[in-house]
Amino acid sequence: MTKSGSAVKVLFVTTELAPFSKVGGLGDVAGSLPKALRQAGVDVRVVTPAWPGVLERVAASGVKTTTIKTKVYAAYDWRIHSATVIKADVKGVPTYFLNAEDYSGDMYPSQLNYWTASPFAVFCMQALELKDAIEWEPDIYHCHDWTSAFLPCALAWHRHYRQRGDKSIMTLHNVAYQGIFEPSPFLEASGLEPWSFSSSTMEFYGQVNLLKGGIVAATAVSTVSPTYANEIQTYESTRELSGILYQQRSKLRGILNGLDTKFWDPAGDKAIPAKFTVKDLKGKAACKKELLARAGFDTETNAPVIVCVSRLVEQKGFDMVFNAAHQIAETGAKLLILGSGNDWIENGIMKAAEENPGSIKLFKGYDEPLSHLMYAGGDIFLMPSVFEPCGLSQMISMRYGTVPVVREVGGLRDTVFDVDRPEGGNGFTFLTCDSDGMMWALRRAVERYNNDKAAWKNIMLEGMKEDFTWNKSAGLYKQMYEEINS
């Protein structure tokens, strides 16, 4: 509540929004947390760029849109950048898509420099200008990752916006991506005061670091799990940025992500061939059969099916997987991986699949329906992340009765608990960041699956019964909003 007793008004500023634009978990969070926040009594609205294909996907989903009469304008690089504002009601959340020339390229650039970073700065300034066009003024701007980190920087250091005294929150979904590039000609073009480029603000070893600027400038900072909130203050985790995070720790908190548990629900999922529930697991066998058929594997096998659904990037620890490919195949288990990303990881997995035909298979690409079949048809979900701010995949897999095997790091540590602890758990975990560590946990899982079906069913049920809703965390976000708004 605000001082006047009305709901606190929050504008969610995000460059990904599931199901219209999603690269990873940020898209899922932006597509589900606002709905939970509205249910908790926060007047939250969402603004996001209309990247290529987004408005088509909105139309295809049946969501109705209206074009707002007034455009938004932002001054950047001595030019006025305008955007048309398309309003939609997405599951009860007022959502504004900004349609402009600036967002006509790839969603995320492979190389960051002044030109490729500019659309993100423009987006933040257009978000700051939105209030007049929609006749609704937020109390707080809630930004996510480096792609909207320019907004807190503008509120603190921009010649024009710093006069407004508005509040902002910076949520860190992944500190590995910081938005680092050459300062020239960005500083001139951006309208930031020249003194904003100092070691105590957004300067970082001679470069601009938007995330650093956002962290320093924001009124409050949060990240997506309590463990990651601690880890990022250490040099081992975030290198040069760890000192800044340590300095800023009094305004940093960790709030665990939740899931859209209606969307990720084996009892109602339209993308899987048979539904199942905690009380009736029968449908899961049909999903496994279909998945094995998709892989071209024997559908009658008794072997456990290990699945991975992931961006194929260094963070996710796939070198541990392909280095242990023969050992995994020797356990008798099948390994199915869905993902795309770095060539060296794709090549490593492809080689492992070629050397272990009938045991290992890579589905290359991003495929939402297939991801549902993987979660539903798998027995074991493997996620050996090197670091993991929160991780949603392990939670999704547990919803579908697929037992996670994960490294004890970040949000994985806050959500997966080893079954062999005295108090029991919902999965298998390991600490050492290498293939041996991973195989130690994976072998325990495969053996348990093969030799103790009753124990295995209990582990599955333990995961399926976990509360992965946003309810608790939405309350914590609301508390943060109210604290900084008082």
The footprint of ligand ADP on this chain (CB under 6 A) covers a number of residues equal to 18
From 39-47, 304-312, 418-426, 441-449, span contacting ligand ADP (CB under 6 A): 304-312
Q: Is 309 in the site for ligand ADP (CB under 6 A)?
A: yes
CB 240 within 8 A of CB 275: no
Q: Which residue is nearest to ligand ADP (CB)?
A: 25
Q: Is 415 in the site for ligand ADP (CB under 6 A)?
A: no
CB 351 within 8 A of CB 323: no
Query: Contacting ligand ADP (CB under 6 A), which of 31, 34, 339, 463?
Result: 339
How many C-beta atoms lie closer than 10 Å to residue 159's C-beta? 13
Q: Which is nearer to ligand ADP, 74 or 370 (CB)?
A: 370
How many residues are there in the chain?
A: 486
99 phi and psi, to 5 degrees? -105, 115
Query: Contacting ligand ADP (CB under 6 A), which of 15, 25, 145, 401?
Result: 25
Q: Is 440 in the site for ligand ADP (CB under 6 A)?
A: no
Q: Would you say the C-alpha torsion 209, 413, 319, 405 has a positive or negative sign? A: negative
CB 248 within 8 A of CB 435: no
From 281-289, 328-336, 382-390, 475-483, span contacting ligand GLC (CB under 6 A): 382-390
Query: Contacting ligand GLC (CB under 6 A), which of 17, 26, 133, 480?
Result: 26
Looking up tokens 């139309």, which residue turns up? 59
Strand partners, 192: 158
Query: Contacting ligand GLC (CB under 6 A), which of 9, 11, 21, 24?
Result: 24
> How many whole angstroms separate alpha carbon 24 and alpha carbon 74?
28
Residue 224 binding partner per list ligand GLC, ligand ADP, none, with a CB distance cut-off of 5 to 8 Å that depends on partner kind: ligand GLC
| Residue 421 burial class via C-beta count within 10 angstroms: exposed 0-12, middle 13-18, buried 19 and up | exposed
Q: Is 29 in the site for ligand GLC (CB under 6 A)?
A: yes
Q: Is 369 in the site for ligand ADP (CB under 6 A)?
A: no
Q: Is 24 in the site for ligand ADP (CB under 6 A)?
A: yes
Query: Contacting ligand ADP (CB under 6 A), which of 16, 28, 129, 414?
Result: 28
Q: Is 179 in the site for ligand GLC (CB under 6 A)?
A: no
5's CB contacts (< 8 A; 6+ apart) are none
Nearest distance in Å: CB 347, ligand ADP: 16
Residue 309 binding partner per list ligand GLC, ligand ADP, none, with a CB distance cut-off of 5 to 8 Å that depends on partner kind: ligand ADP
CB 419 within 8 A of CB 443: no
> Coil, helix or strand for 449?
helix
Q: Is 391 in the site for ligand GLC (CB under 6 A)?
A: yes
> How many whole angstroms separate alpha carbon 153 and alpha carbon 160?
12
Chain positions contacting ligand GLC, by CB under 6 A: 24-26, 29, 173-174, 224, 257, 388-392, 411
